[in-house]
Amino acid sequence: MPIDFHDQKVRFTYSSRQADHSWTEFMGNLLNWTEKQVVDIGCGGGIYTKAFVGLGAQKVIGIDFSEEITFNNTLKM
């Protein structure tokens, strides 16, 4: 069942979530993100955009086609 992110009832439910701990742990072990620049294409509510910042990325840019759901254009540490 697809989620309608424009529906007022679910509009902010996705963006308030956090990346799963197992994903964050896996990505943290995969690479040292310090001083890295990341582009999150199709970022949606920014779950992984925020996670990359939490992993220490120097700059993260989130891009999504929907103005309603896009988390933010740029996050800087």
**1 in a structural domain:** no
**7 in a structural domain:** no
Strand partners, 76: 59
pLDDT band at 70 (very low <50, low <70, confident <90, very high): low
What is the rounded distance in angstroms from the CA atom of residue 44 to the CA atom of residue 65? 8
pLDDT in tens, 23-52: 999 999 999 999 999 999 988 778 899 999
Domain interval for residue 58: 21-76
**69 in a structural domain:** yes
Q: Which two tokens stand for residue 1?
A: 């069942």
Task: Please name the residue ranges forming H helices in the chain.
Answer: 21-30, 47-54
- Domain count of the chain? 1
**10 in a structural domain:** no
Q: Provide the phi-psi class of 63: left if phi over 0, else alpha when psi is between -120 and 50, else beta.
A: beta
Question: pLDDT at position 3, please?
Answer: 67
Whole-prediction pTM: 0.74
**55 in a structural domain:** yes
**25 in a structural domain:** yes
**13 in a structural domain:** no
**64 in a structural domain:** yes
Question: pLDDT at position 22, please?
Answer: 97
Report yes or no: 14 and 5 within 8 Å, Cβ to Cβ: yes
